[in-house]
């Protein structure tokens, strides 16, 4: 295993992964190597990025690195075992499909005009996001799965090209899912559904807010917030169904001509319910 740093300083091909002179070791990385991108050599890498099934040990982008890695047309491709992004630029990466890898993002380029800082294609085991903007299998042609998302900050979008998502925990930041999720827990921040997304097992809200635009059925909602969390169903007029809801504390905003609550369960504690008319 060798630690090698991206330089991007070759006189002829400074953006080419496969040019040996662009690496601190003077050779192109091979399987089990650790790849590091640092602000000391803040140069883009956009050519020769298809590394196929080469199993690098880790891919680490340090804070302060702002250059572009890969592109939509030519993403970085590798069976890397671990992926950490702390830079301030834009990256397109296609991860291996052998069960998924852990991904950690603390910063990235800003979201602008439908583009994100970290663009992921492929399978992810645990995705931890505490800053930046991250899109998982959003772009056309992308596909893959996600076992667990832990959002502490930043903005994360889960695309409808995901074949499976197991669970989402929102402790901060903004999470939007366009794909159905079995289990979602919201403690702070904002959780959104869009497109045909459903919650197939349970949405538990202990803090933060939810904007529920997805047209899929929500099987079960527990709203149990002492901080006045809001479930907002009013940002689209498409009919939707919630099979079961229990409001132990919080605000539910909805149009009864659009939203159907099959069962409005009795709260577990004394709560205050109020009706405020809204002009549609």
CB within 8 Å of 255: residues ≥ 6 apart: 233, 234, 237, 278, 280
pLDDT of residue 226: 80
pLDDT of residue 242: 98
Strands, E assignment, the chain: 3-5, 34-37, 58-61, 76-78, 83-85, 91-95, 101-105, 118-121, 124-136, 144-158, 162-177, 181-186, 190-193, 199-205, 209-212, 221-224, 230-232, 240-249, 251-253, 259-265
pLDDT of residue 206: 97
3-state secondary structure of 41: helix
d(C-alpha 163, C-alpha 152), whole Å: 24
d(C-alpha 181, C-alpha 256), whole Å: 24
DSSP 58-102: EEEE-TT--S-BS-SSS-EEE--S-EEE--SS-EEEEE--SS-EE
Q: Is the pTM of this model over 0.85?
A: yes
d(C-alpha 45, C-alpha 252), whole Å: 48
- End-to-end C-alpha distance for the chain, whole angstroms: 63
Tell me the pLDDT of the chain (280 aa) as tens digits. Answer: 799 999 999 999 999 999 999 999 999 999 999 999 999 999 999 999 999 989 999 999 999 999 999 999 999 999 999 999 999 999 999 997 666 899 999 999 987 666 799 999 999 999 999 999 999 999 888 999 999 999 999 999 999 999 999 999 999 999 999 999 999 999 999 999 999 999 999 999 999 999 999 999 999 999 999 878 999 999 999 999 999 999 999 999 999 999 999 999 988 877 776 666 666 5
- Half-sphere exposure (CA, 13 Å, Cβ side) for 213? 13
């Amino acid at each position: 295993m060798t630690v090698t740093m991206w330089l991007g300083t070759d006189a002829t091909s400074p953006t080419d992964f496969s040019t040996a002179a662009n690496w601190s070791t003077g050779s192109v990385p091979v399987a089990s190597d650790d790849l590091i991108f640092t602000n000391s050599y803040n140069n883009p890498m956009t050519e020769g990025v298809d590394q196929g099934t080469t199993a690098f040990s880790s891919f680490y982008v340090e804070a302060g690195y702002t250059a572009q890695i890969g592109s939509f047309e030519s993403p970085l491709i590798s069976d890397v075992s671990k992926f950490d992004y702390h830079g301030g630029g834009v990256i397109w990466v296609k991860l291996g499909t052998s069960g998924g890898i852990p991904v950690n993002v603390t910063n990235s380029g800003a979201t602008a005009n439908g583009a994100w800082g970290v663009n992921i294609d492929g399978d992810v085991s645990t995705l931890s996001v505490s800053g930046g903007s991250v899109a998982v299998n959003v772009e056309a042609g992308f596909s893959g799965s996600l076992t667990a998302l832990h959002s502490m900050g930043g903005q994360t979008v889960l695309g409808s090209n995901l074949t499976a998502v197991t669970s989402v925990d929102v402790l901060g930041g903004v999470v939007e899912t366009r794909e159905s999720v079995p289990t979602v827990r919201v403690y702070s921040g904002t959780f959104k559904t869009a497109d045909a997304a459903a919650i197939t097992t349970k949405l538990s809200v202990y803090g933060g807010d939810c904007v529920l635009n997805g047209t899929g059925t929500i099987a079960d909602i527990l709203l149990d917030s002492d901080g006045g969390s809001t479930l907002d169903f009013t940002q689209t007029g498409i009919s939707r169904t919630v099979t079961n809801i229990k409001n132990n504390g919080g605000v539910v905003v909805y149009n009864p001509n659009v939203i159907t609550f099959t069962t409005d369960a009795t709260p577990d504690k004394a709560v205050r319910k109020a009706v405020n008319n809204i002009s549609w």
